[in-house]
Structure 1
């Protein structure tokens, strides 16, 4: 986790990666296997940690799983129809193109993409186990073996 107490989330069980990116492309994978609630993607450096909606308006480009449903939030809330439940999600960012793309690593299928975004500060990986609480003790794991 990056930073100190001011960087902690008020309502979300989230953490921000310690390494940020302000140019080029970067990629990371998150193991979500057996976890029932999650949000993952990227956040901008100045994004608030409390009183927020996880959306690009508040500096979060994410996909989420809640109650067996997958969603993304851009200008509105999107329900995502996936043919399989992802076990590992890949997140690819092209800073200059304003692209954040999510893929199911094992099935090699596209989950969702944010396109034509305008990034003007560092972006950090973001993972979260939901809002307020999560009774499932299975961790989200940012993988380094891809």
Structure 2
């Protein structure tokens, strides 16, 4: 059974340069490091990302994120034990399964080496589907209802939805990533 997830963001994991909305559905990058954030072992201090408050150890889950006209972002999942403080290697072998956009038009699955992706239509909204038992993380372009990429992995611990709004590169990328209620696919 597929669970359409209303995921929310976990402020205790958010990098100090990320600002979450009050409803914990949107995240944006700010240049000036934040106010005194309490230190938490769960907080990312190098990679400016934030995790969902909901992590998964079983089942099929689907959530959607509005990326709008942003020029830089990354979405996906990471395993619970990733290093949140040290140097970042956001690759599958380190426990990250992500699709990213940079420079406005370069899409890739962050495999080793990166797998470049060609998207016919620029997605305004991206769907992420996790099948824990099958070890699949699939990404969909909700805008034209097309499949973007699927990772295959073996999950042995809790995995968390991950959101990276991109470090601010001009006004276009200042917009937040926004978690939206999932669309019903026919």
TM-score (norm. length: structure 1): 0.91
Aligned to 1:134: 168
Aligned to 1:23: 58
- Which structure carries more strand by proportion? 1
The structure number with the bigger radius of gyration is 2
Secondary structure at 1:6's aligned position in 2?
Answer: coil
RMSD: 1.4
Provide the C-alpha distance between the structure 2 equivalents of 1:76 and 1:21, rounded to a whole number of angstroms.
Answer: 27
Secondary structure at 1:142's aligned position in 2?
Answer: strand
Higher RCO (CA-CA < 8 Å; seq separation 6+): 1
Contact 2:61 2:129 (C-alpha < 8 Å) held by counterparts = yes
Structure 1 residues not aligned, in runs of 5+: none
4+ residue segments displaced more than 6 Å: none
Secondary structure at 1:57's aligned position in 2?
Answer: helix
Secondary structure at 1:5's aligned position in 2?
Answer: coil
Aligned to 2:5: none
Among residues 83, 87, 112, which one is paired with 1:75 in the alignment? Answer: 112
Provide the C-alpha distance between the structure 1 equivalents of 2:66 and 2:132, rounded to a whole number of angstroms.
Answer: 23
Contact 1:12 1:129 (C-alpha < 8 Å) held by counterparts = no
Tell me which moved more, 50-59 or 97-106.
50-59
Structure 2 residues not aligned, in runs of 5+: 1-9, 13-38
